[in-house]
């Protein structure tokens, strides 16, 4: 597990690409500049780690494109101490970004292999989520609700009601909604039954899957 000057230099170039693509949140950019993304990827792909692209992480899943990670993280407007729920731990890279932003992170993954891998790997880098959970993200995490923000990192065919219900008032849900192509959607909870909805462009994710557990 090495993070060399070469990797650090490549990360700074990636940060510059994200700035050019419109990412403005300095804390998000600093997190991406700091986290050794190459260590979250299978060795064969390490040379690609600092391109702005998604890559396979096993179990037919991908580590999200850095731009997508940055875009979603920016929308969450995280402040240190925020209680945050992530659906789709995957490689744990997005989890690490949330932790760098100072969030208290709960993250759910439905693939056992990826859940185990991230559970071992994140602490090795010093990233301690409040809890990594093996389970179905469609249900959210009712025992820890409400959350200040919730991020879904897989394409959801519809918006799961439990996720909206588990937001605190003023809380934000960032979720890509759609089948082949998804619309990045931000819900802000304005009241017990009131949600403001913003649609923020098209993205492509692996699907949020149901009924594994």
Stretch that binds ligand SAH, among 21-29, 73-81, 83-91, 142-150 (CB under 6 A): 83-91
Gap between the Cα atoms of 86 and 192, Å rounded: 22
**CA 198 to mean position of chain CA atoms:** 19
Taking CB under 6 A as the rule, does residue 73 contact ligand SAH?
no
Nearest Cα to Cα of residue 172 among 185, 183, 157, 155 = 185
Residues 88-117 close enough to bind ligand SAH by CB under 6 A: 88, 90-91, 93-94, 108-111, 114
Residues in contact with ligand SAH, counted by CB under 6 A, come to a total of 24
User: What b/e sequence results for 185-207 when a residue is b if at least 16 CB atoms lie within 10 Å of its CB, and e otherwise?
Assistant: bbbbbeeeeeeeeeeeeebebbe
Residue closer to ligand SAH (CB basis): 16 or 210: 210
Stretch that binds ligand SAH, among 15-23, 74-82, 166-174, 201-209 (CB under 6 A): 201-209
Q: How far is the CB of 160 from ligand SAH (least distance, A)?
A: 9
Query: How many CB atoms neighbour CB 47 within 10 A?
Result: 11
Catalytic residue among 43, 64, 73, 91: 64
Q: How many CA atoms lie within 13 A of 195 on its CB side?
A: 19
Between the CA of residue 61 and those of 25, 49, 173, what are the distances in Å?
A: 27, 16, 22
Site string for ligand SAH, 30-69 (x = CB under 6 A): ---------------------------x---xxxx-----
Q: How far is the CB of 102 from ligand SAH (least distance, A)?
A: 18
Residue 64 a catalytic site member: yes
Active site residues: 64
């Amino acid at each position: 597990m090495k993070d060399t000057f070469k990797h650090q230099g490549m990360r700074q170039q990636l940060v510059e690409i994200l700035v050019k693509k419109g990412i403005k949140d300095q804390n998000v950019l600093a997190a991406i500049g700091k986290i050794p993304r190459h260590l979250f990827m299978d060795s064969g792909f390490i040379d690609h780690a600092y391109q702005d692209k998604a890559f396979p992480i096993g179990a037919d899943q991908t580590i999200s494109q850095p731009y997508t990670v940055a875009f979603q993280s920016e929308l969450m407007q995280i402040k240190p101490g925020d209680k945050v729920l992530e659906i789709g731990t995957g490689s744990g890279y997005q989890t690490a970004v949330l932790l760098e932003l100072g969030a208290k992170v709960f993250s759910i993954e439905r693939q056992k292999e990826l859940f185990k891998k991230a559970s071992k790997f994140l602490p090795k880098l010093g990233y301690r989520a409040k809890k990594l959970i093996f389970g179905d993200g469609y249900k959210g995490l009712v025992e820890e609700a409400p959350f200040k923000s919730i991020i879904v990192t897989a394409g959801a065919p519809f918006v799961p009601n439990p996720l909206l219900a588990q937001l605190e008032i003023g809380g934000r849900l960032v979720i890509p909604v759609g089948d082949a192509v998804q619309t990045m959607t931000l819900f802000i909870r304005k009241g017990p039954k009131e949600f403001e909805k913003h649609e923020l462009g098209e993205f492509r994710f692996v699907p949020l899957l149901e009924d594994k557990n």
